[in-house]
Structure 1
Amino acid sequence: MDFTPPAGLEGWEKWGSDEPYEDMAGPFFYQRTPQGVVSAFKVEPKHLNGGNAIHGGMLMTFADYALFTIALDELTDTHAVTIALNGEFTAAGPSMGFVYASGEVVRETGSMIFVRGTINADDARTGPTLLNFSGIVKKLKKRS
C-alpha cells in the first residue's frame, strides 16, 4: 500500500509503524502546526455511505486516530490504547476533498490522557464541523 501523502497534503506524515486497520480505512496523515497537531485524509469513494456522504463509522475511526496525534507529545516512548471515545455528529461529510481533525489535551494524569477535538471539512479550523469528539487514551506500562 502506498503511504505517500496525496496532492494537497505534501509534507504530512504517516503515524508510526504499521497500523493495519487505519491504513486500510484511511490512510491518515498528520502535521504539526503552531496551533497543535492536525490530522487529515482525502475522501475516497470507499469512505462513503449509501447517501454519498462520509460514513459515520469512518468519522469515528478518524476521531480515534486523531486522539493519538493530538496527544502525540504526551505519548513519547509509551504504548497506549483508547478506553473511551464519544462523538456528536453535526453535519454530513462531503463526498470529495479533505477532512481534518484538530483538538487539545484537556488533562493528563500518570496513566491517562483526556482529549477533545473536532473534525472539519475543507479547512482544519474554519471548515464545516462534521463531528465533535472526546476520548481517553490510557498509557500502558512498558513491558520488560
Structure 2
Amino acid sequence: MARDMTPHELISDGAHDGAPEGFIPMPPIGHFESLLGTLYGKRNGDGMRMGFRVAQRHINAHGTCHGGMLATFADMCAYSMRVAADLRETSVPTASLSLEYLRPAVLGDWVEAECELMRKGRTLIVWRATLTVKDKPVVIATSTNVATTHDAGGAQNLNRVMGDI
C-alpha cells in the first residue's frame, strides 16, 4: 500500500531556484507560503527587492506562470513595503490589490519585484510593485494595506534580509 504524500512532496519538482547573487531565501511563515516555493529577498539600499524562480509548480495549462502565482507574489511583496514604510514589526493585511498583466513569465524565469511606497497614512499604506523578468515589466500591482498588529515572524525575515540579525 502506497503512503500518502505530504503537500511538499506533491508540489516539489526538484527545480533548483538559482537565485541571483545577493538574494537570500525567506523561510515561509505560514502553511500557505510553504506551498509557493522559495521566495527570496535582497537588501537594496534602504529598501528591499524580492524574487522567485518560475518552477513547474507555477506553470498553467498555457505553459506560462499562472497569474494567481504572480498575484500572490505581488501580494507577498508587502514585505518590501514594510521596510520602506518603517513597519518591519507590523502586520499589514491587504485591503485592496489590483494588477495589470503585461506579458507572461515562463518556466525558469527569475521574477523580481521592486516596490515603491506611494503614501503612508496613520493606518493605510499605498504602494506599487513592478514585477520584471530580464528588466522587462511583467506585472504592475497597486496595493492598499492596513497597518495592524505586531508580526514577529515577518519582522525576523525582514531583519535577516536587511542584515540586522
Fold-level similarity (TM above 0.5): yes
Shift of 1:83: 0.9
Paired AA for residue 148 in structure 2:
L
Q: 1: distance between equivalents of 2:26 and 2:122? A: 23
2:146 matched residue in structure 1: 138
Indicate conservation of the 8 Å contact 1:36/1:102, yes or no. no
Shift of 1:71: 2.7
Q: Deviations for 1:17-61, whole angstroms, at most 9, x for unmatched residues?
A: 623212211321111112731100011000011111110000000
1:110 to 114, 122, 126: 122
2:157 matched residue in structure 1: none
Pairing 1:85–2:97 present:
yes
Counting matched residue pairs gives 137
Which stretches in structure 1 are left out of the alignment for 5+ residues?
Answer: none
TM-align CA RMSD: 2.5
Bigger Rg, which one: 2
Q: Deviations for 1:84-131, whole angstroms, at most 9, x for unmatched residues?
A: 110000001122131101121101011121110211113xxxx22110
Percent sequence identity over aligned pairs: 23
Q: 2: distance between equivalents of 1:17 and 1:89? A: 26
1:94 matched residue in structure 2: 106
- TM superposition score normalised by structure 1: 0.82
Q: 2: distance between equivalents of 1:10 and 1:23? A: 23
Indicate conservation of the 8 Å contact 2:78/2:92, yes or no. no
Shift of 1:134: 0.5
Indicate conservation of the 8 Å contact 2:28/2:34, yes or no. no
In structure 2, relative to structure 1, the CA distance for the partners of 1:19 and 1:9 (3 Å cut) is: farther
- TM superposition score normalised by structure 2: 0.72
In structure 2, relative to structure 1, the CA distance for the partners of 1:35 and 1:140 (3 Å cut) is: closer
Pairing 1:57–2:68 present:
yes
